[in-house]
Structure 1
Amino acid sequence: MTAPGTPAFDDWRVTLKARLLVVVSVLALWVVGIETKLVYLQIFQHADLLGRAERQQERTQASPAKRGDILDRRGRVLAASADADSIIAVPTAIVGATEAANRLCGALGDCDDKDRRALAEKLGQRRAFAYVRRQVTPDQARRVADLHLDGIGSIKESKRFYPNKELAAHLLGWVGVDNRGLGGIEYAYDPQIRGKAGTILIHTDARHQAFSRFERPPTSGSTLELTIDEYLQHIAERELHAGVVQNRAAGGTAIIMNPHTGEILAMANEPTFNPNAYREFDDDERRNRAVQDLYEPGSTFKVVTASAAIEEKVVPIDTMIDTSPGVLHIAGRSKPVTEASHHNYQVLSFSDVIIRSSNIGAVKIGFRVGTERLSRYVARFGFGRPASPDFPGESPGIVWDAAKWTESALASVSMGYQIGVTPLQMVTAVSSVANGGELIEPRAVRAVYRDNRRYAVQPKVVRRTVSADTAAALTGIMEGVVANPHGTAKKAQIPGYPIAGKTGTAAKLVNGRYSTSDYNASFVGFIPSRNPAVAIIVVTDSPRTWPATGGAVSAPVFKRIAEATIRYLGVGPTINPTPAVFVARRDGRSGAPTRRADSDDPVVSLAADGPSGTVPDLRGLSAREAVRKLVKLGMSARVSGDGFVVSQEPVAGAPIEGEGLCRLVLDRWPSRHDLGAGRP
């Protein structure tokens, strides 16, 4: 036996010490590793891990804003938004994607085999969210809800509605399912109308159950008040459609414009479409011909040629022009210039050149004006550039560089060929003659309502085209186009009203050649000629009746539109007018009319889009309309006076409290102060 204290006796201590050292070393390395990993995660991976945690624990959803309404000049709604159901799915929670797709298609009721397969594929993906169908009808939403399918639900989205369907469709445009404007005014003013989306922040636990919710509400878009009048728009569309059908034409355009302010009162196109179902129509039907279609204006452009000649004093109005023998040969031109129907007008006065629409006479006037001066007046009247910023996709037209004009080109432009214009450009140019020589920018927006205030859009004078004397002289000549027995627009005559206008008939270019069967027949004019209320243009594309001229095809449409317009605007006859009859009132009240035909400021509810539970703006409404609106909100009314609402208590926007009683004061003649409260 080995004695205590010997080396053999201490071997186990050495072994234990070595083992402890190994264990401690391993533990130390493990701790260092853990610390290193923690440092790496806390410092180098901190931002990434924090973002992943937020994505797992927080869910952000956009809260779409409500688009502002679009109104006509009298406050009537042309476009509005309302909540619609969209069917959504959580594919990860769906068992049996094919069966779910079949049941959903059965509830929707309009799926084909392709739609069914696409839906089954979408539901079979491992995704947290997917749209099944956006903005469905209430019946479809109810049928889907009745299925009680796991992973299938619905959310509310804003959908655009156009209560008048096709009315002013090309001007208004349309809105896609993402609440963005895709055409017309909806597109041009989309940033203002769309508003600003809100945000919903949802916190979830480890089981993805929501336990808190924070919301930043959306900001509603601005309301637009357009210059058009709903009734006049209806008249223009009705008469244009009748003219296109009667003449078996391919299409057409009609525009009613205030020549003094540039306001577009109506803009009609044929064919048209329903913006509520814009996908069902092709691009040709959705095209705004009034601003996108180019055509050679033909004889209506002789107004520009005559204006240049009179303003520059190169051709006095009493000048006689020899148009014999009805044919004019020009060097470098393959075909001679001829008169319509091969007439020989012989010697014509300057006025008769326009009244009878002589091509040879217009060419000879153009030669005296010259290339430099005529090209300058073409630019002055606004041709070759977009007329207005209110119309997206507007064509600037086609105007050749004056340096490239040959003698043949000068002849063509003088009589309205070899130049491309839009109907809007043409009526704007003639409006400058109607208002005394100022080119005013056409516009479709009259005011913008933002933050309960009305911001009016002011007329913009672009430049002076001709002097007032030249405009007056040209107006007298254009009156003869309608009133003179030899005029080309006798079918535009309206008894009691002088009309100044000009017809145009231009062959269309088909495959690089001028057609002998397809024409653009147009008429542009203003009424009453000496104090015009409106300027109107009608362009008919490829009429199939004979004669296919502006005087035979478009002038009658102009007449019907003009008759209804001046009657609606209350414009009395100026030729042999009927004497006025005055009747004395016995009740001592003012003889002022109940409402003006066209008040300066329409009555528009500024609180219409306010939060629920608030009092609407009732000013300007009749008693019946105001009471009906209050009843829908569960309120009652106490009415005093008669006529229209001029004040209310509680005021618009106040919360509905107590019994919901609203006191209304009515008057027969709302003052501008009463109706304009809250406006700048």
Structure 2
Amino acid sequence: MVSREKRRLSLLLYSITAIVALTILLRIFWVAVITGNTAGDYSDPQVSTRIVRGTITDTNGRLLAMETPYYACALLLRQVPDLQATARILGPLLSVDPQTIVQEASENSLYYLVKRRLGDTEYEQVSALIQDKKLPGVILEKRYGRLFPQHFHAAQVVGFTNTENRGIEGLELAYEQLLSPYPEIGTSLSYGNTIALTLDLDLQYLLDTQVVAIDREHYPDSIVGIIMGADTGEILAATTFPWYDPNLYQESEPEQRQNRVVTSMYEPGSVFKIFSLAAELAAGQADFTQPFHCDGSYTFTMPNGSETTINCVSPHGTITPETMLKYSCNGAVAHWALQTDDELFRKTITDLGFGSVWKTGMPGTIGGLVSRVDAWSGRTKATMSFGQELGVTALQLATAATAIANQGTLMSPYIVESIVDHTGTLLHKGEPTVANTNVFDAKVASTILSGMVEATRAGGTATRTAVEGVLVAAKTGTAQIADPTTGSYGADTFLASTLAIVPADNPKYIIYIGVANPTGATIWGSNIAAPAIGSIIADMVRQGKLVSDSMEHIKLPAGVPLPE
């Protein structure tokens, strides 16, 4: 009985198998005979054979990264009659050692890549020799790769791709799936999306020009710079020096490729006084009715009974909040900090974004360091008030300044303006976003701006940022740089910096430059970063990015009617 059931089951399985096999055979017959297609037509699945990587542009559509064809030179070794002779011809043309060609090609049996990417002249010379049949076995392979037309401008922001055209660093890495999506079914080409950034190459050039000038005069270890839309949070320019060329990324060092605007944390120094003063004013606990008298040093008693002295560069006399910023008085800002509750002081600092990561899409962005109150020593709050015992980034400093520019409203930074697919469909639109509506009130912001404006006037530390006809608000800084291994300050390691808001009466731009370890006659931010920012502001006026009150009205010839 059991064996009969097994036979029935086996017969059923055989029948099903036969039906499936017959169906497959009939399908093959239909495809090959009736439709005329062969197996060769299906050897390559109907999936995109190539992905055209999307472009990256600035806010005005100028190219930062684009797909481009290029040619590689290779040897089909079995077709090369004389490897030594071929190497002697190719080597000088392609700037490759002939002996290297012979040695490396001899280690292969079929194929050898002589040079991955040929220049135009190299291609023309080799192509002519191939056409004249003087280089048997030499082939030119058409490939597709990435071209970065702006070279070192914003290089660390944009990043680069590898030889497979995959994003490795920067926004090329962060937006890999949007720039180079999965292949589409049924098409010969798949197209990546176009990403437009908020960067403005006009401003990027201005910033980079000043960075070069600083390097030539002061020979620093590194420089960071950023220009941000004061009322929008748009990142309009960002630079890290030393630079590299993403077209030649193989020749660069890892340190050159770091986007230090978002990846490097440091103690900001006196630039930070604008934010600590905001915290003191917002808390409302310090006694500003009694002017502080600076005799060149300030001594206070810590909770453990010991005394600590904070020094200024020189005696400043009677100090108010505005003149504290004008003269950059350490003693005054520390005195008011000590009168302010620890938690309230820290809250304003963190509400400004310090200690948090801004999600702009730029890889490696860090949040800096603002330690908890329970980890503070007896002098932490005082030293923090003038930019020590905390870690910040250039992006955080510029972003925090938007609250001063916008009457206490903090804007979120962003760098992607739009993402559009190859049909023109808008996939994403970046827009100004409020991060915090009331970090402090408008009166606090006004006081800070007034003090920063005073700093640009006679006797202030930021006079070299001043530009005729433009109301500039600025704060300079010169900070000692702590040794990361010992934690102690070096005798000759400094950060010279300046932050400016322009125009102060209707803020549109925030500009920050930080210069690490300058050498030469001066180390001061007022002498290194401030004049660079002054030059940028003057150039912005010339470009029409800013309007100067001192600009002369255009005089029209007689008889030409004035526009209505």
Letter in 2 for 1:420: G
Counterpart Cα distance in 2 of 1:405 and 1:569: 47
1:559 CA drift (Å):
0.2
Please state if 1:326 is matched with 2:297.
yes
CA–CA distance in 2 between the matches of 1:500 and 1:348?
19
- Post-superposition Cα deviations, 1:626-662, rounded to whole Å, max 9, x if no partner, equal xxxxxxxxxxxxxxxxxxxxxxxxxxxxxxxxxxxxx
State which of 300, 311, 317 in structure 2 corresponds to 1:339.
Answer: 311
Equivalent in the alignment of 2:473? 500
TM-score, normalised on structure 2?
Answer: 0.82
Matches for 1:476-555 after TM superposition, within 5 Å: 476-483=450-457, 485-510=458-483, 511-512=485-486, 513-555=488-530
Q: How far 1:77 sits from its partner (Å)?
A: 2.0
- Alignment counterpart, residue 442 of structure 1, candidates 392, 413, 433: 413
Q: 1:241 offset after TM fit, Å?
A: 1.1
1:63 to 41, 44, 49: 49
CA deviations over 1:516-552 (Å, ceiling 9, x no partner)? 2121011101111010121101111111133311112
Contact 1:73 1:227 in 2 (8 A): yes
**Among 410, 432, 442, the residue aligned to 1:468:** 442
Alpha-carbon distance, 1:561 to partner: 0.6
**Any conservation in 1 of the 2:360–2:415 contact (CA below 8 Å)?**
no
Q: Distance in 2 between matches of 1:274 and 1:333?
A: 56
Q: Could you say what secondary structure the match of 1:426 adopts?
A: helix
User: What amino acid sits opposite 2:161 in the alignment?
Assistant: V
CA distances 1:67-86 after superposition (whole Å, capped 9, x unpaired):
22222222222222211123
Q: How does 1:3-14 map to 2 (within 5 A)?
A: none
Structure 1 residue 178 displacement after superposition: 0.9
Letter in 2 for 1:110: V
Return the offset for 1:467.
Answer: 1.9
Give the match for residue 456 of structure 1.
429
Residue 188 in structure 1 maps to residue 159 in structure 2: no
Greater mean alpha carbon deviation, residues 513-522 or residues 94-103: 94-103
Residue of structure 1 in register with 2:331 after alignment:
360
Shift of 1:337: 3.8
| Partner Cα separation in structure 2 for residue 468 and residue 412 of structure 1 | 26
Distance 1:66 1:472, change over 3 A: same
CA distance in 2, matches of 1:368, 1:62: 67
Contact 1:326 1:345 in 2 (8 A): no
Larger mean CA deviation between 95-104 and 435-444 belongs to 95-104
Q: Deviation at 1:109?
A: 3.9
Deviation at 1:277, TM superposition (A): 0.9
Partner Cα distance (1:548, 1:396) in 2: 27
Contact 1:85 1:157 in 2 (8 A): yes
8 Å CA contact 2:211, 2:223 repeated in 1: yes
Higher relative contact order (CA 8 A, sep 6+): 2
Which of 53, 65, 85 pairs up with 2:71?
A: 85
Residue 456 (structure 1) shift:
2.8
Which residue among 112, 116, 121 is the counterpart of 1:134? Answer: 116
Question: How many equivalent residue pairs?
Answer: 522
Q: How far apart are the structure 2 equivalents of 1:119 and 1:302? A: 63
Match of 2:142 in 1: 156
Q: Distance in 2 between matches of 1:422 and 1:570?
A: 26
SS at match of 2:168: coil
Deviation at 1:108, TM superposition (A): 3.9
1:170 to 156, 160, 185: 156
- TM superposition shift of 1:555: 0.7
1:548-607 Cα distance to aligned partner (Å, 9 max, x none)? 111121111110011111332353234xx567568599899x949xxxxxxxxxxxxxxx
Distance 1:333 1:493, change over 3 A: farther
Q: Which structure 2 residues correspond to residues 234-273 of structure 1 after superposition, within 5 A? A: 234-273=205-244
Deviation at 1:133, TM superposition (A): 4.2
Encode CA deviations 1:76-111: one digit per residue, 9 max, x unaligned. Answer: 2222221112345667x6688966984796364414
Equivalent position to 1:405, from 358, 371, 376: 376
**2:308 matched to 1:308?**
no
SS at match of 2:400: helix
- Counterpart AA for 2:163: V
**Structure 1, residues 11-53: CA drift from partner, whole Å, max 9, x if none?**
xxxxxxxxxxxxxxxxxxxxxxxxxxxx9xx99xx9xxx9xxx
How far apart in 2 are the matches of 1:446 and 1:277? Answer: 27
Query: What is the distance in 1 between the residues matched to 2:175 and 2:380?
Result: 39
CA distance in structure 2 between the aligned counterparts of 1:461 and 1:585, rounded to whole angstroms: 50
- 2:215 is paired with a residue of what secondary structure? helix
SS in 1 for 2:250: helix
**Partner residue of 1:110 out of 62, 78, 96:** 96
Paired residue secondary structure (2:116): strand
The CA distance in 1 between the partners of 2:162 and 2:48, in whole Å, is 17
Kindly state the Cα deviation for residue 514 of structure 1 after the two structures are TM-superposed. 0.5
Tell me, yes or no, if the aligned pair for 1:479 and 1:499 is still in contact at 8 Å.
yes
> CA shift at 1:185, angstroms?
2.1
Task: State the AA in 1 paired with 2:431.
Answer: Q
CA shift for structure 1 position 130 = 7.2
Partner SS, residue 383 of structure 1 = coil
1:120 aligns with one of 106, 109, 113 = 106
Structure 2 distance, partners of 1:178, 1:480, is: 55
2:548 maps to 573
SS of the counterpart of 2:539? Answer: helix
Contact 1:88/1:152 (8 A) holds in 2? yes
- 1:196, 1:218 within 8 Å by CA — same for their partners in 2? no
What's the counterpart of residue 12 of structure 2?
Answer: none
Larger radius of gyration between Structure 1 and Structure 2: 1
**Root-mean-square deviation (CA), in Å?**
3.5
Report percent identity of matched pairs.
24
Query: Is the contact made by 2:338 and 2:382 (CA closer than 8 Å) also made in structure 1?
Result: yes
- Name which of structure 1's ranges 533-542 and 439-448 shifts more when overlaid on structure 2: 439-448
User: 1:295 Cα deviation (Å)?
Assistant: 1.7
Mapped contact 2:207–2:225 kept (Cα < 8 A): yes
Inter-CA distance 457–100: structure 2 relative to 1 (3 Å threshold): farther
Separation of aligned partners in 1, 2:208 and 2:58: 16
1:486-522 Cα offsets, whole Å, 9 max, x none, are 3211111112222112111100113522112121011
Looking at structure 2, the residues matched to 515 and 370 of structure 1 have their Cα atoms a distance apart, in angstroms, of: 31
Unaligned runs of 5+ in 2: 1-16, 29-38
SS in structure 1 of the partner of residue 440 of structure 2: coil
1:80 maps to amino acid? M
User: 1:388 deviation in Å?
Assistant: 3.5
CA distance in 2, matches of 1:114, 1:334: 70
SS in 1 for 2:161: coil
Q: Does 1:417 align with 2:388?
A: yes
8 Å CA contact 1:101, 1:120 repeated in 2: no
1:487 maps to amino acid: G
CA contact (8 A) 2:225 2:513 kept: yes
Counterpart-to-counterpart distance in 2, 1:470 and 1:443? 26
- Find the residue that maps to 2:523 and give its secondary structure: coil
Q: How much has 1:330 moved relative to structure 2?
A: 5.0
1:375 is aligned to 2:349: no
User: In 2, are the aligned partners of 1:64 and 1:198 still within 8 Å (CA)?
Assistant: no
Q: 1:578 to 1:134 in 2, by over 3 A?
A: closer
